[in-house]
Structure 1
Amino acid sequence: MSAPHKLASVELDAATLPAATAEIEHERRVAIFDLVERNSFEPVGAEGGSYRLKLSLQDNRLVFDVTGEAFARTYAISLTPLKGVIKDYLLICDSYYEALRGSSPSQIESVDMGRRGLHNEGAEQLMNRLEGKIAVDQETARRLFTLLCALYRRG
């Protein structure tokens, strides 16, 4: 029986990422922690086990360098199809944090529902972009989308 497919570690290639403030660096660390803590990550053709993932941004592509005990492969996906949902998600996150500072509970709930909807949409699009390369479940896709947004955010 093969071992479960799981990410054991995630590393970011800082040289390829936008400059980050201390707050953004913290967001990235939290997103990585959440992703590694619980995930289902199955590269096509891999027999199972745990994997190390190194993420980088190259030529408007998100590059996944995946290695395991007997597995090593690099996948790249274009970010162009995801740019709209990433931009909208980051904007609504800013609106959500602003709403927390002084809006009514119903206004906060409305913004939060929109934020969650965009988060789900982004996760679904990311799953579709990874199809045929890496199989992930919905929760892993959500965590990967959170990390992608933290990578994309500028200081």
Structure 2
Amino acid sequence: MHISAKADYAARALVELARDTARPLTCESIASSQGIPFRFLKSVVGDLRRAGLVRSQRGCEGGYWLGRPAEQISLLDVMRAVDGGLITLRGEPLAELHYPAPAQGLPGVWRAVEDSAAEILGRVTISTLVDAPAPAATAVPERTDVLV
């Protein structure tokens, strides 16, 4: 599974916004704080704004705020906002993927991977990440079962 730079930058920007809700933050301040290229972040924030995950205010006192409470924004929401689908194969969604025998079982595996990733990403909210004392990976329980 590939996690895009857009998804990573978007999640980091939202965590930064969630950390300081008293005032709007500029893209410049978010980019500087998180070490994100400014021009790339402007594009990412535009995607987040169109998805309703951030809201903006113009002017000298302007900037960005979260579009809804941090506990209501999951990493799954973030990834879908900036990347569209969660997992694609050669740019196509997995839903209609079918292979002839003997590889006919492979599309089911890819869809199970996507379902498992969606479940995990759907449970992790921006609020969880702001409040996490340790890396987010330790906050998500390990799965030992295999979905196929």
TM-score (norm 1): 0.29
TM-score (norm 2): 0.29
Structure with greater contact order relative to length (CA < 8 Å, sep ≥ 6): 1
Structure whose alpha-carbon radius of gyration is higher: 2
